[in-house]
A = this chain, B = another copy of it.
Amino acid sequence: MSERKIKNMEQFAEVSGISRPTVSKYFNDPGSVRKTTRGKIEKALERYDYRPNIFAINQNRKLTKTIGVVVPSLSDPFFAEIARNIEQRCIESGYRPALYSVHGDPSQEVDVLDGLRSLKPAGVLLAPLGRASDRKAIETFCRDVPTVLFDSNLEDLGAAFVGSDNYSFVSQSIDYLTRSGSAPTFFEMRSPANPNANKRRHAYLDKMEKLGLTPNVIQVEGEGWAFEEIGYRGAIRLLSSDELTSDTVLCSNDRLAIGFLAAAYEKGVKVGLKPDCTLRVASHDDHPFSRFTGPSLTTVAHDYDAVSNKSVEKLFDVIEGGESDVRSEMLFPARLILRASA
């Protein structure tokens, strides 16, 4: 498949019998050249493995075919999973996704965005850290680069926000739990980094009031993104005390719940619906591992696909199409997943 090494478009144009500007057109949009011409080029493409120099291309473009994907933490399988989905969509649309984790660190979030800017990306999909984010830095970034926020909303930032409807999560879990037993106590971090956590607490309080029930929120200490550990420690303390008056616990998110279940196991507290169980635990997110906890975790699932697809779709709208001045927010409903823990 090789006769002679092709080192630039000039040489490739030569061996394919087409002029360089036309070859250039072809690579920018194969459909923009005549079918016979396309044939010649593609035939040459099989004989010689030439590929346009990506740096030379991008130097002469205002924006590249790169899509930045930024998540708070790739150690969280939830984000790993959603990133996978997003990457796939981008590739399908002919873009090059560049994936970044900020590892829970606001300063790295700024750094990543800063580095991303110099890549002249066509657009960026950003799941911000939330409360800890450097709002001003992100705001500046969003002015320069088409950005769609997902998962965590920062008010008025970015061209759009796509996420899950936190009220839908909490409403469904509470509905189920109260209908099948007693009302849940809400278990969460005292100062959650993620804005979704706050929304879920509000949703809990709201929903409980609507149902005429007395809310009860337990907030555990802990900073950072080691949610399992925080949940575990909090639960160990809780289960060693008499603070927990309800037999039903609703965790703000699955990672806390995973820690909670580990603590319950360790303390010999039986969780689930079986006759010998004394506690029910449910949660939100449908974390990839929530199927494999002991007991398996009753939770409420994000519509992963919908969120990732819509995020990408929205971004492409902004990139290609109208600078629709209105910032749209799109929330997808969640879906209750019944398992053994509640």
* A99 engages B100 (CB within 8 Å): yes
Partner of A291, one of B228, B292, B340: B228
* B96 engages A99 (CB within 8 Å): no
Q: How many copies does the complex hold?
A: 2
* A84 engages B56 (CB within 8 Å): no
Partner of A262, one of B99, B103, B232, B293: B293
Q: What sequence of 0s and 1s flags, for each residue 285-296 of chain A, a beta carbon within 8 Å of any chain B beta carbon? A: 000110111111
Q: A54-B118, A74-B84 are in contact. List 12 more A-B contacts (CB 8 A).
A: A55-B58, A55-B59, A74-B99, A84-B101, A87-B101, A99-B101, A258-B289, A262-B294, A262-B296, A265-B295, A292-B293, A294-B294
Tally chain A residues at the interface, Cβ within 8 Å: 44
* A292 engages B84 (CB within 8 Å): no
CA distance A172 to B141 in the complex (A): 51
A215 within 8 A of B: no
* A228 engages B292 (CB within 8 Å): yes
Q: Can you list 22 pairs linking A and B with CB atoms under 8 Å apart?
A: A54-B119, A55-B55, A55-B58, A55-B120, A56-B59, A74-B83, A74-B84, A75-B77, A75-B84, A80-B101, A84-B101, A87-B101, A96-B115, A98-B98, A259-B292, A261-B292, A262-B292, A262-B293, A266-B295, A293-B293, A293-B294, A294-B295
Q: What sequence of 0s and 1s flags, for each residue 32-72 of chain A, a beta carbon within 8 Å of any chain B beta carbon? A: 00000000000000000001011110110000000000000
Least distance between A254 CB and chain B CB atoms (Å): 11
Partner of A265, one of B59, B118, B266, B294: B294
Find chain B residues with CB under 8 A from A329 CB: none
A303 within 8 A of B: no
CA distance A293 to B292 in the complex (A): 8
The main secondary structure of chain A at its interface with chain B is helix
Find chain B residues with CB under 8 A from A96 CB: 115
A247 within 8 A of B: no
Least distance between A306 CB and chain B CB atoms (Å): 19
Of all chain B residues, the one with the shortest Cβ separation from A101 is: B84
CA distance A265 to B262 in the complex (A): 13
Of all chain B residues, the one with the shortest Cβ separation from A108 is: B91
* A51 engages B289 (CB within 8 Å): no
CA distance A293 to B264 in the complex (A): 11
Find chain B residues with CB under 8 A from A291 CB: 228-229, 232, 262
A165 within 8 A of B: no
Least distance between A326 CB and chain B CB atoms (Å): 30
Least distance between A113 CB and chain B CB atoms (Å): 13
Find chain B residues with CB under 8 A from A206 CB: none
Find chain B residues with CB under 8 A from A54 CB: 118-119
Find chain B residues with CB under 8 A from A229 CB: 291
* B51 engages A258 (CB within 8 Å): no
* B77 engages A261 (CB within 8 Å): no
Find chain B residues with CB under 8 A from A289 CB: 228, 258, 289
Find chain B residues with CB under 8 A from A119 CB: 54
Q: What sequence of 0s and 1s flags, for each residue 95-131 of chain A, a beta carbon within 8 Å of any chain B beta carbon? A: 0101111010000000000010011100000000000
* A296 engages B75 (CB within 8 Å): no
Find chain B residues with CB under 8 A from A75 CB: 77, 80-81, 84, 288
